[in-house]
């Protein structure tokens, strides 16, 4: 029988971090999963966000049917349920997030998807920290700038908080206000 002291002298054994299912590069499902991630970035799916996808014609833009999109959403929920959680939210490790962004390789697809992500995260009238982090992570992973993401986008009349634009120092889309992971 092993003593507690002997057991403590062994290095801890860690299970490999679970990963999400993979999709072919630039596939409609890979793109749809990133939109699903944008839907969940604030911690919940808002009906206004789903309505915005329909109004914008996002399913056709992604090259996927509405039913297939919801299948990707369901699969994402199953995959994420295997991830570690903290403070009531599932945490997507930076390496996992990078692998999701890496599934999009075509520069024009990346820019189009960035615009769609932006439309999704602002559609409910509120920009949560997780949404801002996801947006910044996409910019970094794809080596894009705000100017890349802004091409072809309509500027909102008001900022997501519903009030006049907040000072740039406190705005969650400012680079210095972002975080390394999406929760």
Q: What is the pLDDT of residues 37-70, one digit of tens each?
A: 999 988 888 888 888 899 999 999 999 999 999 9
Q: What is the pLDDT of residues 128-163, one digit of tens each?
A: 888 888 999 999 999 998 776 554 444 433 434 433
CATH of 24-177, one of 2.70.70.10, 3.40.50.1370, 1.10.3680.10, 1.50.10.100: 1.10.3680.10
Q: How far is CA 59 from CA 29, 101, 128, 150, 183, in A?
A: 11, 19, 24, 21, 25
Return the pLDDT at 112.
Answer: 93
Return the pLDDT at 183.
Answer: 39
Q: Are 93 and 14 in contact (CB under 8 A)?
A: no
Return the pLDDT at 81.
Answer: 82
């Amino acid at each position: 029988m092993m003593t507690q002291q002997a057991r403590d002298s062994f290095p801890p054994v860690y299970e490999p971090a679970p990963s999400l299912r993979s999709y072919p590069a630039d596939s409609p499902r890979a793109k749809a999963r990133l939109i699903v991630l944008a839907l969940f970035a604030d911690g919940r799916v808002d009906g206004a966000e789903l309505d915005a996808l329909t109004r914008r014609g996002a399913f056709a833009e992604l090259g996927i049917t509405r039913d297939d999109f919801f299948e990707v959403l369901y699969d994402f929920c199953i995959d994420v349920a295997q991830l570690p959680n903290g403070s009531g939210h599932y945490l997507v490790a930076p390496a996992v997030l990078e692998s999701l962004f890496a599934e999009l390789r075509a520069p024009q697809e990346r820019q189009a998807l960035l615009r769609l992500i932006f439309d999704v995260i602002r559609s409910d009238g509120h920009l949560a920290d997780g949404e801002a982090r996801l947006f910044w992570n996409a910019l970094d992973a794809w080596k894009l700038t705000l100017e890349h993401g802004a091409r072809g986008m309509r500027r909102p009349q008001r900022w997501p908080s519903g009030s006049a634009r907040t000072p740039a120092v406190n705005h969650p889309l400012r680079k210095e206000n972002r975080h390394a992971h999406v929760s």
